[in-house]
Chain A
Amino acid sequence: MKLGTKLIHSGTTVDPQTGALGVPIYQVSTYRQTSVDHFGKYDYARGDNPTREALEEAVAALEGGSRCLAFASGMAAISTTLMIFSPGDHLVVCDDVYGGAYRVLTSIFSRMGISSTFVDATDLQAIAAAIRPETRGLYLETPSNPLLKVTDLRGAAALARQHGLITLVDNTFMTPLLQRPLELGCDIVLHSGTKFLNGHSDVICGFSVTDNPELGQRIRYIQNAFGTGLGPQDSFLTLRGIKTLKVRMEQSQQTTAAIVDWLASHPRVTAVHYPGLAQHPGHAIHAAQADGPGAVVSFELDRFETTKRLLEQTRLAAFAVSLGGVESIISYPARMSHAAVPAEERARKGISDTLVRLSVGLEEADDLIADLEQAMGA
């Protein structure tokens, strides 16, 4: 089955009792039992809920994994999954990792005895150099947030495997429609499902997907023990959002290409970061591992005044955090998604005060360009 069809027909999409085409929203906490010795598959909704399960099956199928767990947020997915590691373990992490992930690694997991080294993951030698005897995991994002840097997932996963590391990839920007890290040799795929997967800026959710049954079982154990699973209403909405993933993503990508062309020739734009551009340093690697460049672009402006004007004067693109919705969203990484990263660390990573990130939605390209143009000024 092709992915476009899987989006509509993965998992439990028909209710066996009524034939309803959508999975019912099981807004219930507990399930009546019929035997003292053998409880039914469902006993308490923290452990199992049919609505959440339908969503988990759908995302597992899309990523090509055997197990997917859905969480209350992308950060709940990341932090619950990272609990598979133990005190004394060390992780190698891409250096422009999402600020929220940076925060849990450096302020919570560090206190539990799990240490991290941040490296430029576009350089496989830098990853190899950071591996120590106690290293257990390699944590990647590609394209990264916000600089859209590209990591060679096949190469990184092969390197990790040689050293017995678990490779975790945050696939939020791409979604399984464009990139399937498990097929490239990675072990765990993480998502903020809030973004392109759900796609409507109306649900907070996250996923952890794996094809390794033992890892799947372990993550599922912690999900139930911690109680970080996604609620039924939000599960239903996300399942509903995923049905239009392909049409949304294809349209947004097309619009992004037009905006990128326009940005590249604008006199006030000094740099455009987008893996679809032939001059992007990771262009060839990205093309070899993904089916499209996605719908997030970041760019740098000539000075701070232009940046401020752009952020405050755009009318169509909402000035807000988050991304991946039907509405275009413009954000300011230095003070938003990466505010949790210390200033000098940010500067070293190239997250400057004139860097803007644009998540392209479903508005018409001409309207978005006209809006950016009026906001940026001549």
Chain B
Amino acid sequence: MQLTTQAVQIGLEWDNRTGAVAVPIYQSATFRHPGLGQSTGFDYSRSGNPTRQTLEAGIARLDNAAHGFAYATGMAAITSLLLLFKAGDHLIVTEDLYGGTCRLFNQVFDQFGLTFSYVDTTDIAAVQTAIRPETRALFVETLTNPLLKFADLPVLATLAHQHGLLLIADNTFLTPYLLRPLEAGADIAVYSATKYLAGHNDTLAGLVTVHDPSLAERIYFHQNAAGATLGPQDAWLTIRGIKTLGVRLDRQQENARRIADWLAAHPRITKVHYPGLSEHPDHALMQHQARGFGAMIAFEVDKHALVEQVLLKTTLISFAESLGGVESLITFPQVQTHADIPPALRQRLGINDRLLRLSVGIEDADDLIEDLRQALEGY
């Protein structure tokens, strides 16, 4: 079955009593037991909630994984995964990482004795060099934020597994619709479902998928023990969002392609990072491994003063954090999403004071281009 069909099927056959085609929102904290030592399969909503479970089974199916887990936010999902490790363990991490993840690693887990090395994970030799005896995992973003570098998961997986490391892939920018990380060799996929999966800029959610049963058992233990689970209303909204994932992303990618071409030809734009452009260094690899290039674009304007003008003069495109929703959003990574990355690293990576990140929505491409055109005028 194709992924778009699977997405629409989520929750369709859950409710046997009424035949409702949407899973009910089980706004219930606890569940009555039929007898001593007996359970309906549901005891307490932190441990298992039917609405959340439908979402968890749904994302597992989309990722072709055996198990799915849903959390209050994407950061809660990542935090829960880090609980798999113990003091003294070392992780190798993609260097141009989402700022929130970087903050969590450097300022929270660091003090609990986990250590992190930031490397360019598109450079396999650099990853190999960074492996130490105490290295336990490789954490990559399948398409990085904000510079849109593509991770070669099959090669990384081979390297990781040779050294007994877990390969964890943050697939937020691509979603299972464009790439299934576990099929490409990752052990764990993690999502900020707030973005493309829920897709409406209205719900915060995090998801994890995994295939290995013993790993799944440990992840479930921490999900239940630490309790950062997703509530039923938000689980339901995420399911609702996933049903339109395919049509939204198709349109978003079409729009992104047109905007990237238009930006590349604009005299005030000095650089466009979009893997759909043939000059992007990962274009060929991504064409081979993924089913699309996504709908995120990063671009540089020719001078810093233009940054503020673009952010404030765009009217259809909102100046706001986050991404992946039906509405187009524009951000300034240096001071917003990536403020917690150390400045020296930021500069080296190219997250500079002229870089903007655009999340392309499903508005008409002509209107979006016109909005950008008028915002870039003058100066």
Contacts and interface: CB of A to CB of B under 8 A. Distances in A.
A261 B113 CA distance: 53
B29 A325 contact: yes
B76 A107 contact: no
Given A33-B311, A225-B107, A227-B76, A202 B29 contact: yes
Interface string B54-80: 000000000000000001111111010
Given A28-B202, A45-B204, A228-B79, A329 B30 contact: yes
A79 interface: yes
Interface string B224-249: 01111111011001000000000000
Most chain A CB within 10 A, of B74, B83, B231, is at B231
B297 interface: no
Interface stretch (B16-24, B40-48, B131-139, B180-188): B40-48
Most chain A CB within 10 A, of B30, B233, B308, is at B30
A87 B332 CA distance: 36
Interface in A78-104: 78-79, 83, 86-87, 100, 103-104
A72 B77 CA distance: 12
Contact of A225 (B108, B221, B318, B336): B108
B201 interface: yes
A279 to B, nearest CB: 30
Interface string B306-329: 011001100000111110010001
Q: How large is the interface on B (under 10, 10 to 19, 20 to 34, 35 or more residues)?
A: 35 or more
B303 interface: no
Interface in B189-208: 194, 198, 201-204, 206
Given A72-B72, A229-B73, A308-B36, A206 B227 contact: yes
A225 B336 CA distance: 14
Main secondary structure of the interface of A (DSSP, over half): loop
B290 interface: no
Given A226-B75, A227-B206, A312-B35, A30 B321 contact: yes
Contact of A76 (B27, B33, B228, B312): B228
B31 interface: yes
Contact of B36 (A226, A230, A332): A332
Interface in B61-104: 71-77, 79, 83, 86-87, 100, 103-104
A73 B307 contact: no
B162 interface: no
B112 interface: yes
Interface string A14-45: 00000000000001111111111001000111
A235 to B, nearest CB: 9
A100 B198 CA distance: 30
A36 B113 contact: no
B308 A320 contact: no
Contacts of A59: none
Interface stretch (A2-10, A108-116, A207-215, A364-372): A108-116
Given A33-B311, A225-B108, A231 B322 contact: no
Given A226-B104, A320-B31, 16 more contacts: A36-B307, A36-B311, A36-B332, A36-B335, A71-B228, A72-B230, A83-B108, A203-B27, A225-B104, A227-B74, A227-B77, A227-B79, A228-B72, A228-B79, A234-B231, A234-B234
13 contacts: A27-B202, A28-B201, A36-B332, A45-B204, A72-B71, A75-B226, A231-B204, A231-B231, A233-B231, A237-B27, A308-B36, A318-B30, A325-B29
The 9 closest A-B pairs by CB, nearest first: A75-B227, A227-B75, A227-B73, A233-B233, A73-B227, A322-B30, A30-B322, A72-B72, A227-B76
